[in-house]
Structure 1
Amino acid sequence: MAAPATPTSPEAEATKKPWYRQLYFWVLTAIVTGILTGWLWPSAGTALEPVGTTFVAAIKMLITPIVFLTIVAGIGSVDSLGRVGRVGLKSLLYFQAGTLVALTIGLVAVNVFQPGAGVHADPGALRLEGDAGQYVKDGQGQDWWHFLTDLVPSSAVGAFAEGNILQVIFFSVLFGIALKAVGPIGEPLVEGIHRLSAVVFKILHYIMLAAPAGAFGAMAYTIGTYGVSTLTSLGELIGLFYGTSAFFVIVVLGTVTAALRINIFSLLGYLREEFLLVLGTSSSESALPRLMAKLEGLGIRRDIVGLTVPTGYSFNLDGSSIYLSLAAVYIAQATDTPLSLGQQLGLLAVMILTSKGSGGITGAGFIALAATLSTVGTVPAAGIMLIFGIDKFMSECRALTNLAGNGVATLVVARWEKALDTAHVNRVLRSRTPQPHDGQEQQTARPARLPTKA
């Protein structure tokens, strides 16, 4: 007998409610209120930092167990390990193509608009201090191949404790494969993992009730600490980054979804609550569980969602890739460092590697940028101080673009696996009510035992 839907299932959350009782309304209200608080009362806004950081910490507390349980449940539910390897390989191939396109678009945009021209900053006068200095130090200690060596944790428990998603994914895949390989012996454990997932998602439901408070605190702190003037001082770079990211989502990802006969704006509207949550907290991790639930609500198989989305959070960082190429060349322009076409292509080649595996690391964008500049050596790493003040505002755009990219990636892999019912997806997008496909459970190995969880 199928387990009942958990209270956090998309079906339960999507029950028609008045607009003033919807999560997205309260999160949006909290974001606007936080901006006004930080602008009008900066000291009060800065003091609200613990409210935002506590909410994000509560979400991160559940990220690693959710990733582990979802991946293991997904692998344990497929009818063959060959399918697991096939889905994983297709996901990585798409991720690599998406990263290359995002980096290239960023390079083209920064060369066309040249936001750093005329700054004439002296690299020798730039001092690396505070968090920025630590990020550069961390980045200089990482080689281009660091994501490969960082893949294997020295301790399985340590990977969970440190919140290293990449290492948790590695351990989860090994655990799921082994669980599937032992056959009937592992079936009770698979059933237990499904039931434990229901409990973890129930905890997530409780935490999400505090989402408006978390968004309010995070936004008030950002505006109160950095001020609106920070936005205007480097407004051209910020505007270029947001514009380039919007172009990537609407045109590039829109073209991909159009090939699937899905409207990108309908998909973005379907994920509106997740986007607002990311906007308020500046963290794409805060929306990871809900994104997975919403994608299952489109009728996509659980094993595809469970493998593609968590892996994408480390390997499919489209927004971070655009940021890397824009920021690296901006620093070169601002410090009057000439870069030939060959040198920029060399930067791109290095960034393909340094952009990977940084999910879940505080200051990941800065660390990846510093690692890139340190590896290439042609652009002064100290130049990141020029953009440190606005990085908080750019991190929101990075997270939003990453979220959109991973949503589209899952649809592509599902189509690649011939497991995407476009007509059903479009019906769900029109109603904006998550609804697993009627045949979704029949596509898994043990349909009667899979809970319809989020």
Structure 2
Amino acid sequence: MKRIGLAWQIFIGLVIGIIVGAIFYGNSDIAKYLQPIGDIFLRLIKMIVVPIVISSIIIAVAGVGDIKQLGKIGGKTILYFEIITTVAILLGLLSANIFKPGAGVDMGHLSKTDISSYVDTAKTTEQHSFADTIVNIVPANPISAIANGDMLAIIFFALMFGFAISAIGEKGKPVIRFFQGTADAMFYMTNQIMKVAPVGVFALIGVTVSKFGLSSLIPLGKLIITVYGTMFFFIIVVLGLVAKIAGFSIFKLIKTLKEELILAFSTASSESVLPKLMEKTEKLGCPKHISSFVIPTGYSFNLDGSTLYQSLAAIFIAQMYGIDLSITKQISLVLVLMVTSKGIAGVPGVSFVVLLATLGSVGIPVEGLAFIAGIDRILDMGRTVVNVIGNSLAAIVISKWEGKFNPNRNMQAAEKVNG
């Protein structure tokens, strides 16, 4: 009998979780049993992310050894990220203006959710300038950056360390072998952890549905449909066009990442698939030094789904309150989002915090966020999928741009990973 593939196992876990959550809707006891299982799974994934990123970047950089080449790749990567995230913000605004999901919403029938836990974080980020973001890339203490999971600072340290190993030549060989062994061991751990992904997904989605229920989605149904419809358009049309220009198929990428996309959707966590994204894009034909650099950096600079949602949600709240935002204010919103969405990467509930820090600047009541906080988890699941596809495609685009994409490099290995 043919064994069920991991993607199907995760999907079955997702469906069973939704059914169990719907059956036990409103029963807080079910969350007590399921939440620890989901939390353990997410912690297992987060446990291996930092060691994989550090070891992969150090090996890749030490292998390239050319600071000019990596600097050029870095410049192209940031330029590409800026263009794509700006398109995502503009598409969110356009969609909100066309479909008007907030028009005619009866706020009396919407349940308010407490957002006080996000407010303090938002206050500290309102003063967070672009210059602060650049300064914070350089860690004062790399151990502290690793402990806090500060991805940009970790990447910077790993890049510098990789160059240093390359510069000392023969003396650096044992260090490279150590990190190569570390990376191999971590990828082995990833594959073992992924075997329990269906159970983790079942638990996490079960808790979500048991808390919110399916009926809670109806009052904000128009927002959910608009957000998911716009994200679908962004993936198929915008990213599809980018992939076509780069000589790649967006559908081939989605098919290759099917397991990771179901997992990202279920857990609403991009981190849960980071190790496998680096591995699979490399198997598709991206050089190690590009996939190891572009994908982790994209987790801070290229959150397409999050930026698209932020612009759409901002206009939704304005429409809900009957505020007509002028073109000037909408352009101002775009400019503010371009900075704030990158300035606080890695903060829990980042999309919410960015909106709290941004809405006041264009005269939209931040209290409006309390009405959509209850369904934020449902929207976050979609945002995460877009972020994952966007970052994976970025690695392919930069590899093609550099003329280093070679699908034959790991053809046999790729078949093994996807088979």
Helix, strand or coil at the partner of 2:214: helix
TM-score in terms of structure 1 length:
0.85
Shift of 1:193: 0.8
Shift of 1:265: 1.1
Helix, strand or coil at the partner of 1:213: helix
Question: CA contact under 8 A between 2:22 and 2:210: conserved in structure 1?
Answer: yes
Alpha-carbon distance in 1 for matches of 2:417, 2:231: 27
Match of 1:384 in 2: 369
Residue 209 (structure 2) pairs with residue 226 (structure 1): no
Q: Which 5+ residue runs of structure 1 have no aligned equivalent? A: 1-16, 436-454
Alpha-carbon distance in 1 for matches of 2:228, 2:327: 24
Match of 2:21 in 1: 38
Question: CA contact under 8 A between 1:144 and 1:350: conserved in structure 2?
Answer: no
Match of 1:61 in 2: 47
Matching residue within 402, 405, 417 for 1:417: 402
Helix, strand or coil at the partner of 2:103: coil
Alpha-carbon distance in 2 for matches of 1:59, 1:127: 32
Alpha-carbon distance in 1 for matches of 2:284, 2:405: 9
Relative to structure 1, is the Cα distance of residues 340 and 144 closer, same or farther in structure 2, using a 3 angstrom cutoff? Answer: farther
Give the letter for the 2:2 counterpart. P
Alpha-carbon distance in 2 for matches of 1:75, 1:95: 21
Q: Deviations over 1:388-416 (max 9, x none)?
A: 01100011111000000011111110011
Helix, strand or coil at the partner of 1:300: coil
Matching residue within 73, 76, 82 for 2:62: 76
Helix, strand or coil at the partner of 2:284: coil
Match of 2:188 in 1: 202
Match of 2:90 in 1: 104
Which piece of structure 1 moves more, 198-207 or 343-352?
Answer: 198-207
Question: CA contact under 8 A between 1:166 and 1:357: conserved in structure 2?
Answer: no
Match of 2:267 in 1: 281
Relative to structure 1, is the Cα distance of residues 425 and 29 closer, same or farther in structure 2, using a 3 angstrom cutoff? Answer: farther
Relative to structure 1, is the Cα distance of residues 172 and 227 closer, same or farther in structure 2, using a 3 angstrom cutoff? Answer: same
Match of 2:9 in 1: 26
TM-score in terms of structure 2 length:
0.92
Match of 1:215 in 2: 201
Q: What RMSD, in angstroms, separates the aligned Cα atoms of the two structures? A: 2.3
Residue 144 (structure 2) pairs with residue 158 (structure 1): yes
Q: Percent same amino acid among aligned pairs?
A: 36
Shift of 1:284: 1.2
Alpha-carbon distance in 2 for matches of 1:250, 1:222: 28
Alpha-carbon distance in 1 for matches of 2:381, 2:415: 24
Give the ranges of 4+ consecutive aligned residues of structure 1 lying more than 6 Å apart after TM superposition: 125-128, 425-429
Relative to structure 1, is the Cα distance of residues 253 and 56 closer, same or farther in structure 2, using a 3 angstrom cutoff? Answer: same
Matching residue within 369, 377, 382 for 1:397: 382
Which piece of structure 1 moves more, 330-339 or 353-362?
Answer: 353-362
**Structure number with higher helix proportion:** 2
Shift of 1:19: 4.8
Shift of 1:144: 4.0
Residue 352 (structure 2) pairs with residue 406 (structure 1): no
Alpha-carbon distance in 2 for matches of 1:278, 1:425: 27
Alpha-carbon distance in 2 for matches of 1:405, 1:59: 21
Q: Deviations over 1:363-411 (max 9, x none)?
A: 111111112224x151122211111011000111110000000111111
